[in-house]
């Protein structure tokens, strides 16, 4: 048996990937996947390196099958394939909630493009997540977290 490339490996490497794998089950709750994305570290690739806390980077944006722009986001650094590293060699970690908060209204995102655990969210879906979910460190209207 030959070993699969890391980006195609279907063994979850972290909590987010466990939720992504569970999300493919018929009884899965998509809310669990969204919360795992928002509350865990995810990775973007950029041609720019972070020079300091105030530095700006341009993360890699791909075109989906409809030709619409989507931000490439990865659940683990090993899910970034060589083709993406050639275009953007810097792998940068950030909270999923920060990605959602900074995407704007015209950009969707694709989690793990071409990998075992992945899916795409269109700009409307991103807006819905931004509207309906708050990161775990921001309780809604002073309500206690559960």
pLDDT digits (tens, 9 = 90+) for 95-130: 999 999 999 899 999 999 988 788 899 999 999 999
Q: What is the CATH number of the domain that holds 119?
A: 3.40.1350.90
**All residues at 6 or more sequence positions from 39 whose CB lies less than 8 Å from its CB, including other chains:** 95, 96, 97, 135, 136
Rounded Cα distance, 2 and 5, in Å: 9
* 22-76 pLDDT, tens digit each: 988 889 898 999 999 999 999 999 998 877 767 778 899 999 999 999 999 999 9
DSSP-H helix ranges across 7-135: 15-22, 30-39, 82-87, 96-102, 123-132
pLDDT attached to residue 142:
44
Report how many domains make up the chain.
1
pLDDT attached to residue 37:
95
What's 18's DSSP letter? H
* Within a domain: 142: no
Each as own residue / partner, the long-range contacts of residues 133-138 (CB below 8 Å, 24 or more positions apart, any chain) are 133/34, 133/35, 133/38, 133/100, 135/38, 135/39, 135/95, 135/97, 136/35, 136/38, 136/39
* Within a domain: 17: yes
* Within a domain: 63: yes
* Within a domain: 112: yes
The answer to whether 91 touches 28, Cβ cutoff 8 Å, is: no
Rounded Cα distance, 133 and 112, in Å: 22
Q: 123: domain range?
A: 13-50+58-134
């Amino acid at each position: 048996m030959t070993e699969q490339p890391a980006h195609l490996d279907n063994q979850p490497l972290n909590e987010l990937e466990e939720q992504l794998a569970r999300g493919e089950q018929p009884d899965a709750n998509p809310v669990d996947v969204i919360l795992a994305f928002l509350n865990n570290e995810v990775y973007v690739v950029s041609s720019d390196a972070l020079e300091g806390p105030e530095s700006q980077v341009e993360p890699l944006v791909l075109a989906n099958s409809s030709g619409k722009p989507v931000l490439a986001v990865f659940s683990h650094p090993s899910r970034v394939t060589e083709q993406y590293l050639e275009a953007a060699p810097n792998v940068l970690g950030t909270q999923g909630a920060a990605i959602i908060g900074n995407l704007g209204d015209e950009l969707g995102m694709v989690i793990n493009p071409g990998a075992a655990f992945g899916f795409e969210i269109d700009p409307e879906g991103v807006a819905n997540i931004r509207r309906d979910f708050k990161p775990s460190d921001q309780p809604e209207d002073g309500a206690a977290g559960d």
